[in-house]
């Protein structure tokens, strides 16, 4: 059905919006994932196919949808159940019910993310280019049409607030707020290290482009994101990566030896420049720490495979080891990293066989929305403590000698014991990192990302009706109302950080409910999780398969150091 004017439900606080011959899709009339298609100058149609709803604006539920919605618990209730009653969950975790619930969680979460890419910064409609061009990040929601009267469609002011003032007033830290989960810097650096294999914005092309064409967990941050860089880092003997020995310990090779380009300041001596897969990892000792651990793990696994398969050549040893490390990474991310982040008492489990026989596509495209959601700079403290020494940001950044001076064990111990910060619900971004936040806001505007509430609706969450409901307090709410004019004009990235946090959580409902589907879809959509790959022969037999199945953060570290330090994603009790 073609409509001649915006639906009555889309009105401002002042009353119904008067009809004008502008793009009717600026009103976001199509609900429940319905797609707005413009006809002529001022007509539109909502495509409700597959939404479970029908009607001009996809607002009338089908019978099956009514039943499903009546039985489905709200996200807040579901989170409450999973984070309370530890003794009950301890019983469940020791029974078959753990697998049943975990399967339901995986199916429910991953189904929220389309297996095939939909939109990107150039194409706000389905087309071959948005599917096939891997140089783009995909986008879950199409960009706001360019011909809308306001940046967020029809709501809010004609100009968004100054991003620097926005960041300083609502996001910049006054006093460090620690994570209530006991999250530590080992977690913070893991998050940064892990995500930078697929969050590699190609700034020269624009904020909608990525250099990480693998679009998933391919360990490009270890092996490089192209064949030339991979070859520069490989030893081409026994499947191993190049390395250097310092005081009897294995570390990444030098830039001079590999000729692999890295981003170091001019004042860093060439001898202190280490070469790894991700060219920016010299920025922080915590990133180079993880790069060193994974280098040692790769070469350790190569030795095990060579002993098991003496006839294998260098290439097969390298390629099989890479698959094993991909498996280890996914296992650690789900069972250690996501487990900590969620705060769930349900013991999460990495078992690809749970999705065998279920309609599931083993492919992934990294989403721009996920990239912006994952800017968690609030994790970073005001200074970094190693041993008896405290380092400021100026002393810590590009401190290439710290890893060699202290060694892996000492840094793991220090980062595991230092508390990280709260991510959302409080002003907690250190001033040193505020420019990154400002640039993220600017990029989101260039990309015309839809409002925070539009993203909430996309994930089945109720849109906020006021800034007070969003923040849970009045002072900031009044100021946000003043600068944005309307809750439906609040931008996505500021929204996820300003939203009040869940009880005993480091962020609000939106990051949890939006982030976990992206994360689980990307992890379980990896080829190694498919029925064709998930078998012992893929990983060099039971020895490699067992490495993947038993991987933990603690094993990763302790099998690659002389003395096992305290290692965890949370500070000691």
374 is catalytic: yes
Rounded Cα distance, 143 and 446, in Å: 10
Number of helices and strands in the chain (H, E): 25, 10
In a 3-state reduction of DSSP, which class is residue 225?
A: coil
| Closest by CA position to 22, among listed 37, 49, 42, 38 | 42
C-alpha span between 504 and 86 (Å, rounded): 14
- Residue of 76, 79, 94 whose CA lies nearest to 347: 94
| CA distances for 38 relative to 26, 54, 468, angstroms | 10, 18, 35
Report CA dihedral (118, 121, 127, 130) to the nearest 10 degrees.
-70
CA 18 to chain centre: 40
Q: Three-state DSSP class for 344?
A: coil
Q: Respond yes or no: is residue 196 known to be catalytic.
A: yes
DSSP assignment of 23-77 equals -GGGG----TT-EEEEETTTEEEEE-TTTTEETTTT-EEPHHHHHHHHHSPPHHH
User: What is the DSSP secondary structure assignment for residue 18, as one 8-state letter?
Assistant: P
Distance CA 536, CA 239 (A): 19
Other Cβ atoms within 10 Å of 170 Cβ, number:
18
Query: Which one from 54, 374, 533, 566 is the annotated catalytic residue?
Result: 374
Instruction: Give dist(CA 523, CA 344) in Å, integer.
Output: 19
The CA–CA distances, whole Å, from 516 to 80, 109, 333, 511, 548 equal 16, 7, 12, 8, 22
**Contact (Cβ atoms closer than 8 angstroms) between residue 510 and residue 496:** yes
Contact 369, 491 (CB under 8 A): no
SS3 state of residue 9: coil
- The residue with tokens 């940001």 is 393
Beta bridge partners of 150: 153
List phi, psi (to 5°) of 437: -65, -45
- Spatial separation of the C-alpha atoms in residues 166 and 484, rounded to whole Å: 10
Give me the residue label for tokens 């706001």. 144
Strand, helix or coil at 385? strand
Bridge partner residues of 564 (DSSP): none
Annotated catalytic residue: which of 32, 79, 193, 196? 196
- As a whole number of angstroms, the distance between CA 534 and CA 374 comes to 29
Is 185 in contact with 287 (CB distance < 8 Å)?
no
Tell me which DSSP letter residue 442 carries: H
Element (H, E) at 12: strand 11-12
Alpha-carbon distance 535 to 541, whole Å? 8
Catalytic positions, please?
A: 196, 374
């Amino acid at each position: 059905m073609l409509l001649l004017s915006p639906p009555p439900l889309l009105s401002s606080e002042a009353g119904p919006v008067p009809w004008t011959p502008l793009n009717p899709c600026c009103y976001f009339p199509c609900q429940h994932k319905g797609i707005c298609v413009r006809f002529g100058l001022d007509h539109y149609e909502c495509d409700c196919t597959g939404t479970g709803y029908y009607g001009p604006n996809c607002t009338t539920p089908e019978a099956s949808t009514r039943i499903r919605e009546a039985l489905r618990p709200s996200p807040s209730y579901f989170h409450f159940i999973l984070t309370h009653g530890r003794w009950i969950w301890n019983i469940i975790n020791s029974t078959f019910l753990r697998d049943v619930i975990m399967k339901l969680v995986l199916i429910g979460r991953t189904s929220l993310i389309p297996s095939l890419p939909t939109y990107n910064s150039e194409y706000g409609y389905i087309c071959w280019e948005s599917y096939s061009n891997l140089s783009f990040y995909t986008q879950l929601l199409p960009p706001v049409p360019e011909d809308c009267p306001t940046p967020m469609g029809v709501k809010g002011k004609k100009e968004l607030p100054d991003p620097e003032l926005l960041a300083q007033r609502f996001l910049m830290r006054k006093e460090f707020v620690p994570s209530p989960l006991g999250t530590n810097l080992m977690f913070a650096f893991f998050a940064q290290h892990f995500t930078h294999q697929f969050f590699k914005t190609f700034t020269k092309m624009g904020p909608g482009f990525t250099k990480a064409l693998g679009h998933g967990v391919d360990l490009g941050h270890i092996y490089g994101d192209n064949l030339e860089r991979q070859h520069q880092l490989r030893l081409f003997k026994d499947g191993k990566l190049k390395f250097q020995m310092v005081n009897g310990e294995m570390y990444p090779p030098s830039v001079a030896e590999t000729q692999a380009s890295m981003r170091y300041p001019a004042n860093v001596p060439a001898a202190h420049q280490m070469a790894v897969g991700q060219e920016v990892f010299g920025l922080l000792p915590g990133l180079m720490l993880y790069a060193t651990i994974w280098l040692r793990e790769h070469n350790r696994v190569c030795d095990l495979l060579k002993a098991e398969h003496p006839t294998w050549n260098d290439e097969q040893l390298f390629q099989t080891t890479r698959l094993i490390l991909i498996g280890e990474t996914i296992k650690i991310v789900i069972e250690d990293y996501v487990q900590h982040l969620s705060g769930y008492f349900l013991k999460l489990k990495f078992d690809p066989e749970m999705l065998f026989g279920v309609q599931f596509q083993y492919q992934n495209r990294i989403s721009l929305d996920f990239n912006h959601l994952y800017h968690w700079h609030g994790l970073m403290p005001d200074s970094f403590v190693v041993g008896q020494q405290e380092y400021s940001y100026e002393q810590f950044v590009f401190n290439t000698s710290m890893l060699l001076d202290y060694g892996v064990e000492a840094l793991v111990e220090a980062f595991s014991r230092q508390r990280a910060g709260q991510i959302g619900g409080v002003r907690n971004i250190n001033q040193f990192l505020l420019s990154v936040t400002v640039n993220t806001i600017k990029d989101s505007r260039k990309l015309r990302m839809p409002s925070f509430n539009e993203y909430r609706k996309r994930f089945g969450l109720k849109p906020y009706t006021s800034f007070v409901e969003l923040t849970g307090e009045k002072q900031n709410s009044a100021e946000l109302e003043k600068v944005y004019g309307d809750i439906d004009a609040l931008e996505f990235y500021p929204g996820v950080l300003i939203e009040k946090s869940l009880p005993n959580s480091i962020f609000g409902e939106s990051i949890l409910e939006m982030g976990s589907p992206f994360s689980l879809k990307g992890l379980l959509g990896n080829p190694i999780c498919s029925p064709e790959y998930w078998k012992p022969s893929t990983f060099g037999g039971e020895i490699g398969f067992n490495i993947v199945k038993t991987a933990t953060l603690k094993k990763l570290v302790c099998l690659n150091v002389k003395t096992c330090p305290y290692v965890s994603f949370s500070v000691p009790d």
